[in-house]
Structure 1
């Protein structure tokens, strides 16, 4: 049986609240497996992808623009 190669990438994602204009960044770890599968981690815990339901830490608004790592 052949083991699949897993590529681990640390990424810094940027967020911008369209309500209060607050900007912030959050680090995520992406584990890329075979067939386009990606498992996300944040702070050593499993997490949803950065773009799923982000909310502003300033105003708790949900109108948040998510900018991918390097974007």
Structure 2
């Protein structure tokens, strides 16, 4: 019959790519069997996961270039923990003078078609014109 106990650990992380800082809570199960073999199982939200020092992924940008801090580090350095995101300012508030709203950009496929289509149309037009002129005035 396996014997063991659980501990709860909070690990602070920082992404070295986007500098996002966050904490993750883990449950660490320490189990041993009748033969004295021990194993540690790391759980996050009840799901077995690799240990925090191997393979942590940034929830901000998805990078795996992540470092961890000692336990309790962020509690001693609250300036590293990002605050809540500020609400975006409204573009128009009724009862005020409307400000100039920036025009929305054309979606990329439309811009790409224009960027490719205009030079292509000019080239085809020139070729058609050159062939019509050449047909009208054959070389002697």
User: Does TM-score exceed 0.5, indicating one fold?
Assistant: yes
Alignment of 1:1-71 (within 5 A): 3-34=1-32, 35-70=37-72
CA separation of 1:7 and 1:68: change in aligned 2, threshold 3 A: farther
Cα distance, 1:36 vs. partner?
4.6
TM-score, normalised to structure 2, is 0.43
Root-mean-square deviation over aligned CA pairs = 1.9
Spell out, residue by residue over 1:33-65, the C-alpha distance to the aligned partner (whole angstroms, 9 max, x if none).
234521111111122111221111112122100
> In 2, distance between residues paired with 1:42 and 1:12?
10
Cα distance, 1:10 vs. partner?
0.7
4+ residue segments displaced more than 6 Å: none
TM-score, normalised to structure 1, is 0.78
Q: Is there any run of 5+ residues in structure 1 with no aligned partner, and where?
A: none
Larger Rg: 2
| SS of 1:37 mapped into structure 2 | strand
More helix by share: 2
Q: How many aligned positions are there?
A: 69
> In 1, distance between residues paired with 2:70 and 2:31?
19
| SS of 2:42 mapped into structure 1 | strand
Cα distance, 1:68 vs. partner?
4.6
